[in-house]
Homo-oligomer: A and B are copies of this chain.
Amino acid sequence: MSGADHDAGRQHLLRKLQSLARLSADDAEAILALPMDVQTWPANHPLVREGDTLSACQLILDGFACHHKSLPDGSRQVVSFHIPGDFLDLQGLQLGTMDYGVSTLVPTVVGRVVHTALHELTWRHPRVAAALWRDTLADAAVLREWMLCLGRRTAREHLAHLLCEVAWRFSIILPPVHSMPLTHDDLADSIGLTRVEVSRELEGLRRDGLIGLQPSGVAVLDLDGLARVCDFTPAYLHQDRAT
């Protein structure tokens, strides 16, 4: 938990917001100066429960987390993944109760920023507020693509699409061909299928040489090949950068 670690997490946030709006030096300084209470959590730890009302937002400084919703019968749907630089519960700043839960997927470091500090930031720095709004819009675009996957793609296409997306987003912050720390249960809850079917489809993709199955997780070996399986087009991520 060195100071440098926290700075790296804040820098991810700043870089993302700068890519979404033209920020002044003053805006940037205010973002980096946000008062933040740093906490470390293990993998699979709940950070927010459905129905909570919050008084602070949590920024991922290091690690990996997801949003999820559940049915009374216990079945669970993961609705999004989040990486360093993402706020996990910006919704709690603006709307009353949380309609989704948040959990870590790997050991994760978060920075808690009290709502008053964020309200002050957005009030004094309208361009930062605009950037956060755009970030919300970009997140919604990802939700829509996931809905298309859930409703209209086959199991294999959906799985391939998810792996493409995660590999693509991870490549911003991690070296390529890094294996992804997702269990088969995580993948199943993300694509709306069962663990058993995930196992079978992963085996199919492995046999085709598109992915590698290691104990540490799934590794994407042939991103272009995978993208061809599922017609992956990263435009919906609304992030401009060299592919």
Binding site for B on A (CB under 8 A): 51, 67, 69-72, 75-77, 79, 90-91, 94-97, 99-100, 122-123, 126, 129-130, 132-134, 136-141, 143-148, 150-153, 191-192, 231, 235-236, 238, 240
Q: Are B147 and A69 in contact (CB under 8 A)?
A: yes
Indicate whether A151 sits within 8 Å of B148 (C-beta atoms), given known contacts A97-B235, A134-B94, A134-B95.
no
Does B153 contact A71, Cβ atoms closer than 8 Å?
yes
Q: Which partner residue on chain B sits nearest A189 by CB separation?
A: B151
Chain B residues positioned under 8 Å from A123 (CB to CB): 126
CA distance A75 to B235 in the complex (A): 19
Residue of B nearest to A71 (CB): B152
CA distance A152 to B51 in the complex (A): 19
Q: B residues within 8 A CB of A69?
A: 144-145, 147-148
A144 touches B75 (CB 8 A): no
CB pair A143 B145 closer than 8 Å: no
Known contacts A126-B126, A133-B94, A133-B133; decide if A192 and B141 are in contact (CB<8 Å): no
A76–B153 Cα gap in the complex (Å)? 10
Interchain CB contact (< 8 A) of A150 among B130, B137, B150, B238:
B150
- Identify the 7 closest CB pairs spanning chains A and B, nearest first: A151-B192, A150-B150, A143-B143, A77-B151, A133-B133, A99-B236, A69-B148
**Known A51-B235, A95-B138; further 17 A-B contacts with Cβ < 8 A:** A67-B144, A71-B148, A71-B153, A71-B231, A77-B148, A77-B151, A79-B147, A91-B140, A91-B141, A99-B235, A100-B144, A122-B130, A132-B133, A136-B140, A139-B140, A147-B147, A147-B150
Which chain B residues border A77 with CB–CB below 8 Å? 147-148, 151-152
Say whether A141 contacts B94, CB under 8 Å. Answer: no
Tell me whether A140 and B143 are in contact in the complex, defined as CB-CB below 8 angstroms, given that A130-B129, A133-B132 are known contacts: yes
Q: In the assembled complex, which residues on chain B have CB atoms less than 8 Å from the CB atom of A75?
A: 152
A144 to B98, CA, bound (A): 12
A238 B76 Cβ-Cβ under 8 A = no
Smallest Cβ distance from A28 to chain B, in angstroms?
20
Q: Which residues of B contact A146 (CB under 8 A)?
A: 147
Q: Which B residue sits closest to A74, measured CB to CB?
A: B152
With CB as the reference atom, state the residue of chain B lying closest to A150: B150
Partner of A95, one of B94, B141, B150: B141
